[in-house]
Chain A
Amino acid sequence: GQQVMQIPQYQHVQEGEDFTTYCNSSTTLSNIQWYKQRPGGHPVFLIQLVKSGEVKKQKRLTFQFGEAKKNSSLHITATQTTDVGTYFCAARPRGGANNLFFGTGTRLTVIP
């Protein structure tokens, strides 16, 4: 079945440091989405990547989709305490319908 792994599982950073989470799939993906879930909250859609090698930026966040469309990364520059939460990639297999398979998630803690 579809498996989407994320590393690391946990990351503690000092405020101002950079952070990266990686998402890897065993199969080729149609597209990949990223969600953020604050502690006690619900997943909130951040961005979607569709094209091979695509790179998108949102302020301090940079998202990349691998050339083979099997992996993706999210990089945060100069983390802030508001970045705290769990970051999930969510993938839709090529040819699949709109059912997302969520990655295992990376929990980010930012130390002030």
Chain B
Amino acid sequence: DTEVTQTPKHLVMGMTNKKSLKCEQHMGHRAMYWYKQKAKKPPELMFVYSYEKLSINESVPSRFSPECPNSSLLNLHLHALQPEDSALYLCASSQEITYSNQPQHFGDGTRLSIL
């Protein structure tokens, strides 16, 4: 069982749709992350939030819009996606973003398909 919960588990959407991915953790972690993972590839970092503020944006296109409403929740808003955006989207959390050593806890992911 994962301590990071992601919804929905699967999402199929058209290129003109607007949808949101949700992530929740109740471990008291203050850093949260979005990753994108294509089949047979490693996870690629998209965004990092630290204490509810955007800390890192790895040059992600603006059609992906992250939001951190509070310390337990992380959203990823999707709009006008392209077929190549089809992937597994993973949320992760860690205690905090520092220069110390923090293992990351991953959710099960949302498998996104763009038609």
Binding site for B on A (CB under 8 A): 30-31, 33, 41-45, 48, 50, 88, 92, 95-105, 107
Contacts and interface: CB of A to CB of B under 8 A. Distances in A.
A48 B107 contact: no
25 contacts: A30-B101, A33-B101, A42-B107, A42-B108, A43-B43, A43-B90, A45-B104, A45-B105, A48-B103, A88-B42, A95-B99, A96-B99, A97-B48, A97-B55, A98-B48, A98-B94, A99-B48, A99-B56, A100-B45, A101-B45, A102-B42, A103-B42, A104-B41, A105-B42, A107-B40
Interface string B91-102: 010101111011
B97 A42 contact: no
Contact of B106 (A33, A44, A98): A44
Interface in B68-106: 90, 92, 94, 96-99, 101-106
- In terms of DSSP, what is the predominant structure of the interface of chain B? loop
- Interface range for B: 20 to 34
